[in-house]
Amino acid sequence: WTRRGLLKTAAIAGATGVGLSAIGRLGSLAAASPEPVVLQTAKIQARLMDIGPTNNVLTYGNAGMPPVLRMRKGEPFAARLVNAIDDPTTIHWHGIRLPNKMDGVPFLVQPYVYTGDHFDYAFTPPDAGTFWYHPHCNTLEQMGHGLTGVIVVENPNDPKFDAEFVLNLRDWRLGDDGQFIDQFRPRDAAKTGTYGTVRTANWLDQPQHDAPAGGLVRLRVAITDVTRIYAFRVDGAEAIVMALDGNPVPERFSPDALLLGPGQRMELAIRMPDQEGAVVSLRDVRGTRPKILATVRATGSSLKRDFRDVAPLEVNPVAEVDLAAAQHISLALSATAENVPSDGICGSLGYSFWAINKVPWPGDTSDPTAPLAELKLGKSYVIDMENLTPQSHPMHLHGMSFKVLSSSTRPVQPLISDTYLIQPNEKVQLGFVADNPGDWLLHCHIIEHQKSGMTSYVRVV
């Protein structure tokens, strides 16, 4: 089945647009043990710049961008990671609440998957939404070179759209000759992180799609970049944010100026213009070099659809935090005064610029620092997180979803999420029920920050 699996993976990679669900879901008829999807790491050449192919690009499955994986809420999923690159690896299923053993963090929950070895992942996603997958080993190098893919967990009860597109947003650090340059600069790692030089959506400069005029488009966007924070805007059509980080938003809002960081996802509903040929664009308007990320062109005569046709998405089965009984965990994000060189053996950057509660994580080692906190299974907790640095940090918790309760600097919706982009001088409260036993990482998703100290974990027993 290995070869068949690979071919299936390749077929999915080529089709991220309309009608994907018609191709068939992964794992065939989803009995107790579905056929595993094979995710084989590979080093390939890919055309990321006009000048010619880039060497040493990493992917799963040899067919360009890692495949968009389709799963179904409440149905078993299985994948075999086959490691064919020259570096140990693992897969982490970002945002999916799954058993600890399947979480993909080396040393903490599973051994390395060495070159030539494989590892079988199996879990049942409880939540519908947009998620993603990536290695959790030597992450700056492996993710920086391409190993970031999008996951769609479907819910058969979702409202019907006239088209659906998935965008995997990321940058590459390439020189003028189209080849990789140094993945980071230490002075940038100590600030915002080192930005890529070439920006892509689905490994293209600017993908162009067609959708029916007057139709409703579902656009799933995942920021899988290692550094960049985006500020979105949709031009040429009305758009609403339906979901963030794999969960429906309590109240829909316009995506204009929405800030999202590495690891975060959004789902938009876009009402296409009535006029044939009209072009809708998704833009990043942050900073001094705004970019059109992707476009959708209206085709045919208008379907005359209405946002009222988009019923609210079903809420995911996340346990409600008991605020009266919750214990509080204080968490301070800071820069470290001293740069203690760290000796992590899984791709540590060799610096410690950052700390959580004054402790810089030493890198992924066989001897991780003690957990930040030991949590009792089934009990409610509130993380009081404070950002003492002048940078923003997309803080990600593995294994459990939290609810955003309050912020000291801005009005917040009670979003359910796995990644919170905390701003400079912001204090935020994140509530959750510790309902998943195991060791769960909590880290900044700007990978240079993660890899130079801004990581820790909680233990649920």
**263 touches ligand C2O (CB under 6 A):** yes
**8 touches ligand C2O (CB under 6 A):** no
The residue (of 70 and 265) whose beta carbon lies closer to ligand C2O is 265
CB of 214 to ligand C2O, least distance (A): 37
- Cβ atoms 151, 357 nearer than 8 A: no
CA distance 195 to 198: 9
For ligand C2O, the binding residues in 319-378 under the rule CB under 6 A are none
**441 touches ligand C2O (CB under 6 A):** yes
What track of x and - describes contact with Cu ion for positions 433 through 452 (by CB under 5 A)?
-----------x-x--x---
- The candidate with the shortest Cα–Cα distance to 144, out of 116, 103, 191, 185, is 185
CA distance 119 to 111: 9
For ligand C2O, the binding residues in 125-164 under the rule CB under 6 A are 134, 136
Span of 283-291, 354-362, 372-380, 439-447 interacting with ligand C2O by CB under 6 A: 439-447
CA distance 94 to 78: 15
CB of 318 to ligand C2O, least distance (A): 18
CA distance 231 to 255: 9
427-433, strands of its sheet edge to edge:
354-356, 327-335, 380-387, 427-433, 402-407, 416-417
Q: Supply the DSSP symbol for 361.
A: P
**393 touches Cu ion (CB under 5 A):** yes
Span of 27-35, 322-330, 343-351, 441-449 interacting with ligand C2O by CB under 6 A: 441-449
Question: Could you give the residue ranges of the DSSP H alpha helices within 58-205?
Answer: 139-144, 186-189
Q: Which does 297 bind (CB under 5 to 8 A by kind): Cu ion, ligand C2O, none?
A: none
Structure tokens at 79: 């994948």
Q: Which does 449 bind (CB under 5 to 8 A by kind): ligand C2O, Cu ion, none?
A: Cu ion
**173 touches ligand C2O (CB under 6 A):** no
- Cβ atoms 58, 43 nearer than 8 A: yes
**451 touches ligand C2O (CB under 6 A):** no
Q: Which residues does 146 contact at the CB level (< 8 Å), separation at least 6? A: 46, 57, 58, 59, 65, 66, 203
**265 touches ligand C2O (CB under 6 A):** no
The residue (of 348 and 436) whose beta carbon lies closer to Cu ion is 348
Q: Which does 263 bind (CB under 5 to 8 A by kind): ligand C2O, Cu ion, none?
A: ligand C2O
| Chain positions contacting ligand C2O, by CB under 6 A | 92, 94, 134, 136, 263, 396, 398, 441, 443, 445
